[in-house]
Amino acid sequence: MSQTESQGDDPNSIPEIGLVSRHQWQLRMLPPKWRWEAVRRHPYYQTFWRPANDHFQQRELEPKHLEIGTYKRQAAVSVLQIVGVTAVAPDPALEFEQLDQDGEQAGWLSGAVHPITFLGMVGQMMATMPAETLTLIGNVLTEAGHFEEPGMRSPSFMRLQCSDDPALASYPDLPIVSICPASSQREITRCLIELQKGWQARCGIEDKRVNLEKLPKYFEVFDLREGWSQGSYRQASELRFEEICAQLNCPISTAHNFYRNAFLQVVGQPFTSPLWARVFGPSKLSQLLAPGNPGRVVRRRPLQQRSPVAAPETRVGVNVAMEPAHYDRSAQQIAQIQELIRAGMSDQEICDTLEMEDEILRGIAELRRRFRDLPSGT
């Protein structure tokens, strides 16, 4: 599954093909409550949490649906990993206080410092180690698994100790360390500060802080604009920015700034209108862009630099509920419509250019309305 690179600050840049990933470490900078508030508002989470949760809960599938159902569940888990969810997928309608303290909520209590599970360590090994090293470790673990008594497993571990595989002596390029509990807090703190500086420099991470006191205001504006209510987005609840300013008694620049800040926490990338179209468009507009017979879509997307690049022939408004690939194709089509709007085409001209049925006009009009009411500079 492809992912995009960082979107940058260019308001006219169009994200690359693929689902949009969250900046690494961004989510864990938030307190547990706001981490949940950000994640459950992400359109990917809204769309894919059910099949992912079925995977985590190991719910049975009917034999005739086993192959496709397993694929959809695993694909959904992969999508949630993009936005920072690696275990358990609670219902987004649940408030943070309603999450199970010992189960669901435990996954949201990690932050600046947290222990890593054995499952997490296995995942890191699988993601970074060479195939031959994983095979060696797997064989040794299988051999050790034949013994119930831990003391009988020592010979198996000695095989690893004697191995000349250099990967076994390497360190993961991640902030995973062993701390001596007998050392003083001052010494541990000093060492961790130095390690953090080195990791930040190596990864190009800026020392940024989130204004935690303003998070409620950020999300209040975002929720009013996007129509967030009771754990889902409702188009009938959306307000325009001028309506939000009247309700909250704030200038338009403040509303735009608060929205941008909330968008950053939800999506994990700075706001741009093409990025909104790519992430929010399919889940919010697919029904408006899905008449009975949408017709053919041109094979070559008009990119902003006007260089023709081949894109797969697909349909706008496909069922995005379960298929990440369909979600991405729908996002590509919305980006295509957005470019034609920027090129000055009328709704009918766009419809004719893409050879769609006239029923699509309502969806194009909604996209146009939405793009007219975005934060300034986008």
In whole numbers, what is the pLDDT of the chain averaged over residues? 78
Q: Are residues 295 and 366 in the same domain?
A: yes
Tell me: pLDDT of 293 over 50: no
Number of structural domains (the chain) is 4
pLDDT top residue among 12 and 266: 266
Does residue 2 fall inside a structural domain?
no
Last residue of a domain, one of 182, 203, 224: 203
pLDDT at residue 150 in the model = 86
Per-residue pLDDT at 10 exceeds 80: no
Task: For residue 11, tell me if it sits in a domain.
Answer: no
**C-alpha angle with apex 303: 341 to 281, nearest 5 degrees?**
55
The reported pLDDT for the residue numbered 3 is 36
Question: What whole-number percentage of the chain has pLDDT above 70?
Answer: 79
- Is residue 310 domain-shared with residue 368, that is, in the same domain? yes
The pLDDT value recorded for residue 376 is: 64
Residue 49 near residue 92 (C-beta atoms within 8 A):
yes
Which is higher by pLDDT, 58 or 252?
252
| pLDDT of 8 | 38
Q: Same domain, yes or no, for 306 and 355?
A: yes
Do 84 and 138 belong to one domain?
Answer: no
* Number of Cα atoms under 13 Å in the Cβ half of residue 98: 8
Which residue has tokens 């996954």? Answer: 107
End residue of a domain, out of 154, 174, 203 = 203
**Torsion sign over Cα 143, 147, 152, 157:** positive
For residue 194, tell me if it sits in a domain: yes
Quick one: 142 and 93 in the same domain? no
pLDDT confidence of residue 104? 56
Cα 302 vs. chain centroid, distance in angstroms? 26
- Phi/psi of residue 292, each to 5°? -60, -35
| pLDDT at residue 101 in the model | 55
Please report which confidence band the pLDDT of residue 374 belongs to, taking 50, 70 and 90 as the band edges: confident
Do 220 and 199 sit in the same domain of this protein?
no
User: What's the 3-state SS for the chain?
Assistant: CCECCCCCCCCCCCCCCCECCCCCCCHHHCCHHHHHHHHHHCHHHHHHHHHHHHHHCCCCCCHHHHHHHHHHHHHHHHHHHHCCCCCCCCCCCCCHHHCCCCCCHHHHCCCCCCCCCHHHHHHHHHHHCCHHHHHHHHHHHHHHCCCCCHHHHHHHHHHHHCCCCHHHHCCCCCCCCCCCCCCCHHHHHHHHHHHHHHHHHHHCCCCCCCCHHHHHHHHHHHHHHHCEECCEECHHHCCCHHHHHHHHCCCHHHHHHHHHHHHHHHHCCCCCHHHHHHHCHHHHHCCCCCCCCCCCCCCEECCCCCCCEECCCCCCCCCCCCCHHHHHHHHHHHHHHHHHHHCCCCHHHHHHHCCCCHHHHHHHHHHHHHHHCCCCCC
* 150 and 224 co-located in one domain: no
- How many angstroms from the chain centroid is the CA of residue 108? 15
Asked whether residue 8 is assigned to any structural domain, the reply reads: no
Confidence band of 370 (pLDDT split at 50, 70, 90) = confident
Question: Residue 146 domain-assigned?
Answer: yes
Q: Is the pLDDT of residue 147 over 60?
A: yes
> What residues make up the domain containing 48?
27-108
Given a cut of 70, is residue 304 above it in pLDDT?
no
Q: pLDDT-based confidence at 102, cuts 50/70/90?
A: low
End residue of a domain, out of 222, 238, 267: 267
Q: Are residues 235 and 297 in the same domain?
A: no
- Show Cβ contacts of residue 119 under 8 Å, excluding neighbours closer than 6 positions: 87
The pLDDT of residue 2 is 34
pLDDT above 80: residue 173: no
- Asked whether residue 98 falls in the same domain as residue 154, the answer is no
**What are phi and psi for residue 326, nearest 5 degrees?**
-65, -40
Say which residues have a Cβ less than 8 Å from residue 266's Cβ, sequence separation at least 6: 38, 41, 42, 222
Lowest mean pLDDT among 150-159, 184-193, 266-275, 365-374: 365-374
Segment among 8-17, 135-144, 229-238, 339-348 with least mean pLDDT: 8-17
CA distances to 17, 48, 99, 111, 230 from 94, rounded to whole Å, are 32, 16, 7, 21, 8
Q: Range with the lowest mean pLDDT among 83-92, 134-143, 261-270, 293-302?
A: 293-302
Is 10 part of any domain?
no
Q: What is the CA radius of gyration of the chain?
A: 24
294 confidence band (pLDDT: 50, 70, 90): very low
Same domain, 307 and 344: yes
Flag whether pLDDT at 5 surpasses 60. no
According to the per-residue pLDDT averaged within each range, which of 122-126, 156-160, 248-252 is highest? 248-252
Tell me if 53 sits within 8 A of 312, measured CB to CB.
no
Beta bridge mates, 233: 228
Q: What is the pLDDT of residue 172?
A: 76
Lowest-confidence region among 13-17, 175-179, 280-284: 13-17
Tens-place pLDDT, residues 197-249:
887 787 776 766 778 899 999 999 999 999 999 999 988 899 999 999 999 99
| Residue 305 burial (CB count, 10 A) | 7
- Range picked from 138-147, 255-264, 279-288 for highest mean pLDDT: 255-264
User: Which has more pLDDT, 114 or 42?
Assistant: 42
User: Distance between CA atoms of 264 and 99, rounded to whole angstroms?
Assistant: 24
Tell whether 6 is covered by a domain: no
Q: Report if residue 272 sits inside a domain.
A: no
Q: For 264-289, what is the mean pLDDT? A: 84
* 127 and 178 fall within a common domain: yes
